[in-house]
Structure 1
Amino acid sequence: MKDSLKKTVPAPTGRTHRTMRLGEISQRACIVGIIKEKTAILTRQAPERSLPPLNRTHSLTQWTYELTKYQKQLRRCRKRYSTAKKEWQKAQASWWRRLSGISRRRKQVMEEKFLHLLDMIRYVVQALLHITGLRAIPPEPLRTILTPQDKPALERFIKEYDDEFTAMAHACKALTLAEPAL
């Protein structure tokens, strides 16, 4: 065993250079850059550490004050939906109302109210996240729900004012429309 230890190859005294291709060099430089970025991110101090701790009661009262108007709207939407659902269920129970189409119309009204309620819930959740600071942008506005009765009026409006809207979209067309005809 002592003989095998003596026969080991001595370590090279100078540095050995390995030839690397240009792609390997750029890849290694990219990896080193990414590692440096990650360590810089990990060593940064969170901005919340410099702020004083939040007063829980003050925050909750402020949030409830700001959300009061949304609560009222949400309650109204919920009440309208529950009323429409009860009317539809009453119409569904009567065979005469099912045959005359009243049940189908009540179901359409109930579905519209349900979609409006869902949109209101979306709006309230986005507002809550914005108020608490978990969402950077304010909530998107409430969307109106198009009913089949509204579609012809909307199409008529689009036909009447389509030229003006396209002209406003293109500045050069807007200038030609604004010039008086000779």
Structure 2
Amino acid sequence: MALIMPTPIKDKKSGIYYLRVRVPVDLVAKYGQAEVSKSLRTREPSEAKERFAAEYAVVQKRWAALRAKPEPLPLKRIVSLAGRVYDNVMASLENEPGETVIWQQVQRLNSQAGTDDAKLRTVLQGSLRTLKATYQVTARFSCVAIKPLSLSPRRSTRSSQGST
């Protein structure tokens, strides 16, 4: 039995090409569909082949991600991501500082953590679980407390600036 390679499918009525492939059997339950179908938005065969290749690569990546097991993030990566989130949050709060409740929570986390990095990690792990479950907006902004891991001198000024 020959294996048929996926290719663009042309709609008989409209002449538009589609990506149409079966979802692998092991992913049907996770993906929620047995088939992927998407318009390539072209009637040109050569353009359809190029678009098909790009879209099929996206579908393959999605399937690989569904098959992959979650991996724990090392602390260095967490701190790096927290720094990026912190920068984005600070940029968004430049004109509108946000609710007082958020900054009271950040100030509480900072005071609990002190200057000890190990204690900071413990406080943040417990706090983020609680915050995500109870107050989603606060969980988004609580990452501000992660920034002190760099031991920057601006730590105390940031938490005091936010309280209004």
TM-score (norm 1): 0.23
Q: Which has the higher contact order (CA 8 A, sep 6+)?
A: 2
Q: Greater helix share, 1 or 2?
A: 1
Q: Which has the larger radius of gyration?
A: 1
Q: Greater strand share, 1 or 2?
A: 2
